[in-house]
Amino acid sequence: MGSYLQNYGAGEEHRNKIIKWIIISAVTVVLLAWFSYLFLHNFFEEQTVKRFLAEVNARDYQAAYRDFGCTDSTPCPNYDYKRFLEDWGPEKKAESPWKVDSVEGCTAFVTVNVKAQGRELESLGVLRGGKTVMFAPSSECQERTWKWGQFFHRIFGGGSQS
């Protein structure tokens, strides 16, 4: 009679183990997808601005002007090359290279705030899926969005983000 009840409940234990692993795997996949979205959502637009800043820091103003969507043959109507050089050129001495200060994603574009020591904060924007840099309308997104960067900075960074 002992052999009859010896394997009683063994199938249920195995099924419970499988269900447990499925739930843990699903939660892990959802969390990884969420963190990937948070940290990579603005990645390509930020890289576009970083390329622009690298060209400005290397004093390759022609390439930087092209990143603004303008060329010598087809200059931007309200932002010719002379004005571009007034804003980003050698006359505007910066004590340090331009660097990305903060990134904020809006629905239609990404706002990237850049700064260099001795210069004011500049707000640049890149349309989602686009490859050209432009001046952003403001330093922050004007639509209602979750401020995940500020949230994590307040939790782990100790204090409010300016």
What is the tens place of the pLDDT at every residue in 42-80? 889 999 999 999 999 999 999 999 998 887 777 788 888
pLDDT value of position 19: 95
Identify which of 158, 110, 98 has the alpha carbon closest to the alpha carbon of residue 134.
110
160 — pLDDT class (breaks 50, 70, 90): very low
Coil, strand, or helix at residue 129?
coil
Can you tell me the distance from the alpha carbon of 94 to that of 82, in angstroms, rounded to the nearest whole number?
Answer: 18
pLDDT value of position 5: 66
Can you tell me the distance from the alpha carbon of 141 to that of 123, in angstroms, rounded to the nearest whole number?
Answer: 11
Cβ-based burial of 113 (10 A; exposed 0-12, middle 13-18, buried ≥19): middle
What is the tens place of the pLDDT at every residue in 5-37? 676 667 788 889 999 999 999 999 999 998 888
What is the model's pTM?
0.71
pLDDT value of position 136: 87
pLDDT value of position 94: 73
What is the tens place of the pLDDT at every residue in 87-136? 888 877 777 889 998 888 888 888 899 998 888 888 999 998 888 899 88
Can you tell me the distance from the alpha carbon of 60 to that of 50, in angstroms, rounded to the nearest whole number?
Answer: 14
Can you tell me the distance from the alpha carbon of 121 to that of 88, in angstroms, rounded to the nearest whole number?
Answer: 13
Backbone angles phi, psi at 88, to 5 degrees: -120, -10
pLDDT value of position 161: 45
pLDDT value of position 159: 47
162 — pLDDT class (breaks 50, 70, 90): very low
